[in-house]
Chains A and B, each alone.
Chain A
Amino acid sequence: MSSMSNQPAWSAQFAQDAIRELEIIGPIRELTREWAWGGSNGEGVRVAVVDSGIDQDHPALEGRVQKGVVVELEGDGLNQTRIEEADPSRDLCGHGTACAGIIHKLAPQAELYSVGVLGRDLTGRAIQFAAGLRWAIENEVDVINLSLSTSRKEYYALFHELTDEAYFKNVVLVSAVNNVPVPSYPSLYSSVISVAASECKDPWTYYYNPFPPVEFGAPGMDIEVCWRDKSTCVVTGNSFAAPHIAGIVALIRSKHPELRPFEIKTVLFACASNIQREGE
């Protein structure tokens, strides 16, 4: 795959010595974190975690998981999908629970929805993922956290269509980029908020990258997270950075429900830790 050598290493742009202070001009400069999410706890915001499932009984989640669904494959060639309710919601490996836990820590009153798109049958990954994403968009959640992606070009159009639909339906997509430098759909589409791991440990510190396609860097290294079977784990990966941003987006949407996805991204940009703001 010759394209691999041309791709940047996504998280290298958020290494401590690579982060650049940025100045912004104009009225956007006046946006502050206090305005954006001060006093918010995520109340009234629905956040879907499209992943391996969420262990809804994990004590760290404090009962905030409202509903769980699972995408199953069916049909002769296992190329069709159906949605099944998962009651109670369970996590196949721990990752979805980890993401939900991070979101919950930042936005404790946000409602969590689990969309399980993984299964033991490994052939249908991309179509299960697309079906789960479609379910979340059609059910009009406010924020979707995605930690999965496909690098197959034949799915480029399908995911582009879905992400456009989300954008126009006022659903914010936050997606972790792939951990290795390959094409990553839908993470790298312009309407999606793409996130890679930075070296910082503070959950409220995140950075804007002036050289996209990866736009934001948030904590994703040696993060203590909840895991399957009510356990905890210390993990590293871009997929743990995305829920940090999803949690902050939930706080913003709770406080300012009128903001559209493009305004949310602007607010995130203006409040990033490497942006010099008015009076600072």
Chain B
Amino acid sequence: MSVYPSQDGELSKQLRQLVQIFKASARTILPTSSQDLLQSIVDAAARLFGAAAASIALVDENHQVLRFEVAHGAGQQDVVGQEISIDAGIAGYVVMTGNPIAVADVRKDPRFAQEFAEKTGYVPGSILAMPLVWNDRVIGVMEVLDKIDAPSFGMQDMELLGIFAHQAAIAIRQSQQVENLGDAILMGIKELCEGSPSLELGEVLTSLSHEVDEDQRAQDLMTLADLLYAFHQFGDSERKLALEVLTAFRDYVRSKQVSL
């Protein structure tokens, strides 16, 4: 694809298609929202660690807070969306140091209990808080609360949750980057325009930002991408059957086109 086309309309069309294809292929690989991913992580963590509750809060550096994104178990309805300052209490310690910590009885810490109870109506007993670290930056905190068959979380729990959290952080970061990458492509094109006055791509940019999601064809492509993602989750025999059906449909359509 040449950057210096003979017609702006042609370039506009090509760029639009490129971004559409990119977004569609991203959606076939990852869940449509990082919320789904985070929810599945806390659900798995609670089960794995035999905990009554689990949550993930992500760092919002602009506002210097931790925002609870997902929760599982006791208090889950109320905790999502709550924000706490990144220098507050146990979660704050984890964010600032990048170290995990296990506390045996948070109810004994009057400050913790008050802050949490006010926001959620749920005050945990034992807590294991683990940083989600990407490239030496703490991007969030995962907590598992109230170990079911023991009074507190131990070192083995900490080590296991650490490995789990490491993978979770990678997945979270990747899904954030993919969401941002579409925007990054647009930014790149914008910079290209600004750097080369002979290119008149203002109209292209306008058409890209307005039309990509409104076009019916683009929406259909997204729906198809979602279906392909769903296929990923099938078992082997279901996926094989889906492939056979789609292949047969493609061959049918082609045969019809040839006969026209």
Binary contact readout A206-250 vs B (1 if CB under 8 angstroms, 0 otherwise): 000000000000001110000111011111111100000000000
**Distance A178 CA – B159 CA, assembled complex (angstroms):** 10
Q: A1-B166, A231-B111 are in contact. Are A180 and B95 (CB under 8 A)?
A: no
Binary contact readout A1-24 vs B (1 if CB under 8 angstroms, 0 otherwise): 100100001111000000000000
- Tell me if B163 counts as interface (CB < 8 A to partner A): yes
User: From residue A136, how far is it (CB to closest CB) to chain B in Å?
Assistant: 17
**Distance A240 CA – B64 CA, assembled complex (angstroms):** 27
**Distance A231 CA – B162 CA, assembled complex (angstroms):** 27
Most chain B beta carbons < 10 A, residue from A118, A151, A229: A118
Q: With a CB–CB cut-off of 8 A, which chain A residues contact B138? A: 122
Q: A52-B93, A150-B136 are in contact. Are A120 and B64 (CB under 8 A)?
A: yes
Cross-chain contact B111 with A179 (CB below 8 angstroms):
no
**Distance A238 CA – B90 CA, assembled complex (angstroms):** 16
Cross-chain contact B93 with A236 (CB below 8 angstroms):
no
Cross-chain contact B158 with A122 (CB below 8 angstroms):
no
Cross-chain contact A234 with B155 (CB below 8 angstroms):
no
Q: How large is the interface on A (under 10, 10 to 19, 20 to 34, 35 or more residues)?
A: 35 or more
Which listed residue, A10, A52, A178, A236, touches B96 by the CB 8 Å rule?
A52
**Distance A145 CA – B52 CA, assembled complex (angstroms):** 35
Q: With a CB–CB cut-off of 8 A, which chain A residues contact B101? A: 95, 235-237, 239
Q: Which of A150-165 contact B (CB under 8 A)?
A: 150-152
- Tell me if B97 counts as interface (CB < 8 A to partner A): yes
Q: Write the chain A residue with the least CB distance to B100.
A: A179
Cross-chain contact A4 with B166 (CB below 8 angstroms):
yes
Cross-chain contact A180 with B89 (CB below 8 angstroms):
no
Q: Which of A82-126 contact B (CB under 8 A)?
A: 92-95, 118-120, 122-123, 125-126
Cross-chain contact B163 with A180 (CB below 8 angstroms):
yes
Q: With a CB–CB cut-off of 8 A, which chain A residues contact B11? A: none
**Distance A239 CA – B97 CA, assembled complex (angstroms):** 11
- Tell me if B225 counts as interface (CB < 8 A to partner A): no
- Tell me if A188 counts as interface (CB < 8 A to partner B): no
B-side interface residues, number (CB < 8 Å): 39
User: From residue A4, how far is it (CB to closest CB) to chain B in Å?
Assistant: 7
**Distance A96 CA – B157 CA, assembled complex (angstroms):** 23
Cross-chain contact B96 with A119 (CB below 8 angstroms):
yes
Q: Which of B85-99 contact A (CB under 8 A)?
A: 86-87, 89-90, 92-93, 95-99
- Tell me if B5 counts as interface (CB < 8 A to partner A): no
Cross-chain contact B159 with A9 (CB below 8 angstroms):
yes
Which listed residue, B96, B109, B153, touches A233 by the CB 8 Å rule?
B109
- Tell me if B102 counts as interface (CB < 8 A to partner A): yes
Which listed residue, B61, B96, B155, B166, touches A197 by the CB 8 Å rule?
B155
Cross-chain contact A123 with B137 (CB below 8 angstroms):
yes
Q: With a CB–CB cut-off of 8 A, which chain B residues contact A239? A: 99, 101
Q: With a CB–CB cut-off of 8 A, which chain B residues contact A221? A: 154-155
Q: A229-B111, A231-B110 are in contact. Are A122 and B137 (CB under 8 A)?
A: yes
Most chain A beta carbons < 10 A, residue from B101, B103, B155: B155
- Tell me if B25 counts as interface (CB < 8 A to partner A): no
- Tell me if B108 counts as interface (CB < 8 A to partner A): yes
On A, residues with C-beta under 8 Å from B are 1, 4, 9-12, 52, 92-95, 118-120, 122-123, 125-126, 147-148, 150-152, 178-182, 197, 220-222, 227-229, 231-239
Report, nearest first, the 6 A-B pairs whose CB atoms are least far apart: A180-B162, A236-B102, A93-B93, A234-B104, A118-B96, A11-B155
A232-B108, A235-B103 provided; 16 other pairs, C-beta below 8 A? A1-B166, A11-B155, A12-B155, A12-B156, A95-B97, A122-B137, A122-B138, A125-B98, A148-B99, A179-B158, A179-B159, A181-B159, A182-B166, A197-B155, A236-B102, A236-B152
Q: What are 20 A-B residue pairs whose CB atoms fall within 8 Å in the complex? A: A1-B166, A12-B156, A93-B89, A93-B90, A118-B96, A120-B96, A122-B61, A122-B96, A179-B100, A179-B155, A179-B162, A231-B109, A234-B104, A234-B108, A235-B102, A236-B152, A236-B153, A236-B155, A237-B158, A238-B155
